[in-house]
Amino acid sequence: MSTGFHPLTKDMSMKRFEYMTLNIAAGIWNGKIEEEELTNKLNELGRAGWELVSTTNWNSTNELITILKREL
């Protein structure tokens, strides 16, 4: 049974997003990440419509890479 949907077809009814990465270097906080400062930054971005999608440690360093998205 065909649904009529093809993943390569541009369907204007689909939600569209923009993405942003945020690099958080622990070194600027004496080798550790300040939870309160990070929380404040994420809350600020959340008020601007950004949603945290993922966070990972980059290359086993003291740097976090966060990926955020917001709907266009």
Rounded Cα distance, 50 and 55, in Å: 14
Q: What is the mean pLDDT of the chain?
A: 80
Domain annotation covers residue 31: yes
pLDDT(4) > 70: no
Say what the pTM is: 0.68
Q: How confident is the model at residue 9 (pLDDT cuts 50, 70, 90)?
A: low
Domain residues for 42?
A: 17-71
Total domains, the chain: 1
Q: Would you state the pLDDT for residue 63?
A: 78
Q: Would you state the pLDDT for residue 21?
A: 93
Domain annotation covers residue 3: no
pLDDT(46) > 80: yes
Mean pLDDT to the nearest integer, 24-51: 81
Rounded Cα distance, 56 and 67, in Å: 9
